[in-house]
Every structure is written in C-alpha cells, then in structure tokens.
Chains A and B, each alone.
Chain A
Amino acid sequence: MFKNITRRASTFAAIAAAGLLAINVQAAEPIRIGSFLSVTGPASFLGDPELKTLEMYVEKINADGGVLGRQLELIHYDDAGNASKARNFASRLIRSDRVDIIVGGSTTGATMAAVPMVEQAGVPFISLAGAVVITNPVKKWVFKTPQTDRMAAERVLNDMKARGLTKVGLISGTGGFGSSGREQTLAAAKEMGGIEIVADETYGGSDTDMTAQLTNIRGAEGVQTILNFGFGQGPAIVTRNYAQLGIELPFYQSHGVASDGFLELAGSSADGLRLPASPLLVPDSLPESDPQKPVVEAYKSEYEARWNAKVSTFGAYAYDGLMLAVEAIEKAGTTDKAAVRDALETIQGHVGVTGTFNMSADDHNGLQADSFRILEVQDGGWNLIN
C-alpha cells in the first residue's frame, strides 16, 4: 500500500516535473525571423550586405539577452534574384519554418512575388526593396524600409526649386530603376507644380555614349538643369559626356548612383553634381544635433569592424528592418502575428540608419522625402548640402 502510494507520488512528481520542463522549453523557444535575400546572382550587391547585417545583429541581440527574454533565430534562404524562387522560399518560411516575422526581399520583383503569400497567411513582412508599388496601395501585412523613388524625385525637384531652377531636362535609363524613376519624376513634377520637364530622353542599359541625348536636352527651350535617373555604369557615362560637352547647367543624379564606385568611374567630371542619398555616405558631416548621427556611426563602424568591408546603404535597409521588427515585438509583448503587425503600424519616431520612421495605417514605409540628404560631389568626395 505504502509502496503503491510512493510509486504514485513519484509518477505524479515526474509528470509535474515534465510539465514544468515543458513550460521552460516553451519560454526558451526562440523567436523565428525568416528571410529570403538575393545573396548571389545579379542582385548580390543588395543581398550580400543585407544578409551580413542580419547575421551580425541577430548575434548581437542574442548576446545582449534577446528579445522578450527569448533568443532570436534567423532562418534565411538565397533567392538568387529570382522571383519564383523567392515565392517558394516565402512559402517555406511560412508553412514549414513557421516564422514569426519576415524581414527580406532584396528586389522589388522578389518582394512582390512573396506579397500574396504573406497576405494570405497573415505574417508581418518587412521588405528591403525600393519601388513605390510595395506599400502603395497599402497592404495589410507588408511594410518596407527603403525610401521610394518617388521621394528621391520629390527631394531633387524641391532642391531645384529652392535654387530657382524650374525647367528640367530629364534623361533616364530604360532599365527597371530608370524607367520607374522617370515615371515618378514626371508625376511628382505634375503634382508639385511650378516645375516643368522640358526634355525627356532615355538610354539603354549597355549604351556607351549619351552625347546625342545630352545635345538634344541642351538644345531644349529654356532648360535650366538636368536630372539623370539611372543605375549602374550608364549614369557615369552620362556624367562624363556632360563634362566633355561642356554643359554648364547644374546637374543632378538619383540615389541609384550614391556609392563610391560611381565616383571612381565618373572621376573629375562628377564635380559639382548633386544627388539625394543616405546619410550613411557622410556620417562625419552630419551635425551633432542630428538624431541619426549616432545610429549611422554605430552601424558603419560595427559593420566595417565585423566584415572588413565597406558599409553599403543596402545593408542599412536590413538593419532598419530588423530593428523595426524587434521594436514591434517588444511593443506587442508577444510574437502573436496580428499583435506584432498592429504594433508595427503604430511605431513612431523610430530612428534608423535610412531615416526616422513614423508608421501609420496608411503609410507602411514611414519615411519622409527629407530622410534623403542632398549631397554634392566636391573634389572627388561627398559633401553634405542639406
């Protein structure tokens, strides 16, 4: 009898212990952050720094004790810049990896391929791609960190207006980035008023000479300034042709060439041109009063120390995406997907590397055009104008 009782008690204790253990296991269950990035392939210049950024900051957050007392677990796939692969990986993240939130999508194509999946499954998704279509119209579960090309266009046109330049000659690449930029520039000019596009020229992605187009723009009635929206080596050739033709008009480029590689290609002919860019290019010139200064400086030095490579603005999109996800989870106090989504939508004054995010129900990007800084090239370096 007594033996029996003790046996029962011990069984009971064992069950209780197992139950306790189970609770413990549940508490230690990591928060699963899913990601699909273009780490290899033609868009690897985006995906590579993005993955490096996610990896190093997940490590860092875990070393500092995690989020809500739980560790973060990064589950990532390489879509190689292929939209249909991105779709498959998004589906795998949602269905078999059961992630709590997705931070990824290096290109607009990859992002848009994944959007129907996340919308249907109801998983918060922070995209790292540029185009305006991602968050406009607003999709319930989709957010994004980079500024849109529309903001770049507005920022440039505003700077032109401030300098009294109202008649603009536009030249753009025919690639995805250039043609979307062209459309947004035309739309922004129409909406803002007081600014007129007097010439509208294009060039192909592998063209090697744009003097004919520039000659045309120079001949346009009353043209006061020229804007080039493009990506890759094209804008560098435009810049050189500009200098060779001896065009004296103020010259603007887009954020597509805001990198040191562009300065190298364009050389001294880039002197004096202006473009909208991330503050990450000029951390030292930011005024002490700028709230972004410490964030930008910390990201730059930590990234460069860890990877021994130059920091890129694309990696910063991933940094902002991860930090927004962390803030939303902390704010929600849970990883419940609907609660995290609601928390994301109410984030205000989140200071990131790219800009200060103020999310709302009808703005899932949360950035303003002035998060772009206008830089001027002087003596082969970047110079902060405003």
Chain B
Amino acid sequence: MFSEFLQYLFTGITIGATYALIALGFTLIYNASHVINFAQGEFLMIGGMATVSLTAMGVPMLLAIVLAVVLAGVLGIALQRLAIAPARNADVVTLIIITIGASIFIRGLAQLVWGKEYHVMPNFSSDEPIQIFGAVLNTQSLWVLGVGAVLVAVLVYFFTRTLTGKAILATSMNKDAARLVGIRTQVVLMLAFMVSALLGSIAGIVVAPITFTSYDIGIILGLKGFVAAAIGGLGSGVGAVVGGLALGVVEAMAAGYLSSDYKDAVAFSMILVVLFFMPRGLFGAKIVERV
C-alpha cells in the first residue's frame, strides 16, 4: 500500500519537476515583457533533438549537450530579434500570437531537418533503477530533480544578486521608468528570451531519456508547463516550481487512485479550481489597478 503511494509520488515528482522547469521559462519571459511565450516548448524540443542528433554524428555526449544549449540560446535571441523586436510597439496579445507562429515555424523546421521519428537518449548514469521501500526510482529522475534544483538556485541568485537580473525585474515592473534610469529594455528583453531558451533546452535534455524526444514533443509539454505556471501564478518563480510539482503529483495520484482515463481531466480541472478561488494563481502578485 505504502510502496504504491511512494511509486505514484516518485512518478509525479519527476514529471512535475519537468513541468516546473518549463513553467520557469514562461515566468521569466512573462516577467520581462508580460508576453506568454508559446514557443517555450520548442526550446525544450531543440535541446533534446539537437543533443540526440549531435551524439548520433559522433560528438561526445557532454559536448553535444553544451552545443545544443548554445543552439537553443542563439535561437532564443533570434526569436526576440527577428520576431518580437520588429513588433515592439504592438500590444501584448499580438506578441503572444507572434510566439505561436514562431513555435509552428520552429516545429516545421525541426520536422524537415530531423524527420518525424521519435528518438532515444541514453540515461546519464546507470540504467539500474533505485529501490526505496518497495518503490523504484529511475536514476534519471534524480538528474531531473538535481538539475532543476540547481537551475532554480541560479535563477534566484541571478534575480536578487546581479545587476542584470535586477534590470530585468525593473523592466517588468515599469518599462518607462526602467528606460529613464538607463536600462536598455530591448537588450533586457533579448536576455530574457535567451535565458528562458537555455532553461527550456536544459529541461528538454534532462527529461529526454525518460520521455523520448521528437519534433512535436514541445506541444504537450509546453502546454502542461503553461498550466503549471498559471496555477502557481504567472510571474512568480516559487509559483512555477510549486505549480509544476503539484500538477505532476496530482496527475500521478489521479492515474493511480482514480482512473487513468481521467488523469488529464483532473489535472486540467485543477487550473479551474485554483483560478476560481485565487484568480492570480497560488503565488500571483497582487495587482492594484491604478485609477
């Protein structure tokens, strides 16, 4: 009985950590620009697919990972420079629609370059799972959790201790005021896209051994990440992490104890319940309308 519960919990936390990393990417760009970047899932896909194809070409795993992350970072910058920046005076909804277009474009490109098949990536360490009280834990899950924790710590440090991080926060709070004190808001925005792409691609790489990877893996994972970000409260880093983990655990528990048929329904109803009682999400900022 307890071992089953533990198994569902492990499953939920692993997949939840992935959602949390994706949600953090959404949060980052949302904070800098109030844009919800629907191409976030595509960064995830680029990370996994580029690593797989580079290793297939004979590049050592570690180098392949670094190159894939760099590629995603460049793509993040390109997305901001080529698609978002030219429309800088458009309103937020237009920018969001642009990101949807960009995600379809990137996915199409990936399909042409890498084909439609699913690909495997080997586990980073042993294939032998760990036994804990009768439940098993895939070693790759530990990688997902570990890398996730490190990334969160780095982000917290970046936003609270570095000037660049504070500049991003300042831009999100008041763009005009930020510009007045000498912050180049377009550069800040570019930075936000780059960091968010790096984050997404790293998430895509660490989960690829568990989920496989293909050109369209970003669609559903991106969507779940967005749900996690909305549950946690858009714009809140803590919210993204809590929202992601909560979503993953609820999904796994629903599959285990209720019915696997209703797993996704339960997860998506969660967003309704949370937003009904707390319209800004669990950790959303209180926004006072200025009159």
Contacts and interface: CB of A to CB of B under 8 A. Distances in A.
Interface of A: 174, 201-204, 206-209, 211-213, 215-216, 219, 232-233, 236-237, 244-246, 261, 264-265, 267-268
Nearest to A244: B129
A215 B261 contact: no
A264 B121 CA distance: 11
Interface in B6-31: 7-8, 10-12, 14-15, 18
22 contacts: A203-B260, A204-B263, A206-B219, A206-B220, A207-B263, A208-B210, A208-B212, A209-B211, A211-B136, A212-B253, A212-B256, A215-B8, A216-B4, A216-B256, A233-B212, A244-B129, A245-B7, A245-B129, A246-B129, A261-B117, A265-B212, A268-B127
A236 B256 contact: no
A213 B255 contact: yes
A246 B136 contact: yes
B157 interface: no
Contacts of A216: 4, 255-256, 260
B129 A212 contact: no
A232 B219 CA distance: 16
Contacts of A212: 7-8, 11-12, 252-253, 255-256, 260
B136 A233 contact: no
Contacts of B7: 211-212, 215, 245
Contacts of A219: 4
Contacts of B168: none
B205 to A, nearest CB: 14
A245 B8 contact: no
A213 B118 contact: no
A265 to B, nearest CB: 5
Given A213-B255, A216-B256, A244-B136, A264 B8 contact: no
Task: Report, nearest first, the 7 A-B pairs whose CB atoms are least far apart.
Answer: A208-B211, A212-B255, A206-B220, A233-B118, A212-B256, A215-B7, A211-B11
Contact of B260 (A202, A237, A244, A265): A202
Contact of A208 (B15, B117, B264): B15
A215 B117 CA distance: 28
Contacts of B118: 232-233, 236, 261, 265
A98 to B, nearest CB: 36
Given A212-B253, A232-B118, A261-B117, 20 more contacts: A208-B18, A208-B207, A208-B211, A208-B212, A209-B11, A209-B252, A212-B11, A212-B252, A213-B256, A215-B4, A215-B7, A215-B256, A233-B214, A237-B211, A237-B212, A244-B136, A245-B129, A246-B129, A264-B120, A265-B119
B211 A267 contact: no
B107 to A, nearest CB: 14
Contacts of B253: 212
A201 B15 CA distance: 19
Contacts of A208: 15, 18, 207, 210-212, 221
Of the listed residues A206, A236, A237, A267, the one surrounded by the most CB atoms of chain B closer than 10 A to its CB is A206
Contacts of B260: 201-203, 212-213, 216
B137 to A, nearest CB: 9
Contacts of B138: 244
Interface in B241-263: 252-253, 255-256, 260-261, 263
Contacts of A237: 211-212
Contacts of B221: 208
A174 B212 contact: no
A190 to B, nearest CB: 20
Contacts of B127: 268
A227 B256 CA distance: 18
A291 B31 CA distance: 69
Nearest to B261: A202
Nearest to A44: B116
Interface in B106-132: 117-120, 127, 129
Contacts of A268: 127
B212 A236 contact: yes
Contacts of A267: 120
A244 B129 CA distance: 6
A212 B14 CA distance: 12
A216 B255 CA distance: 9
Nearest to B118: A233
Nearest to B256: A212
Nearest to A246: B136
Contacts of A215: 4, 7-8, 256
A236 B211 CA distance: 10
Contacts of B11: 209, 211-212
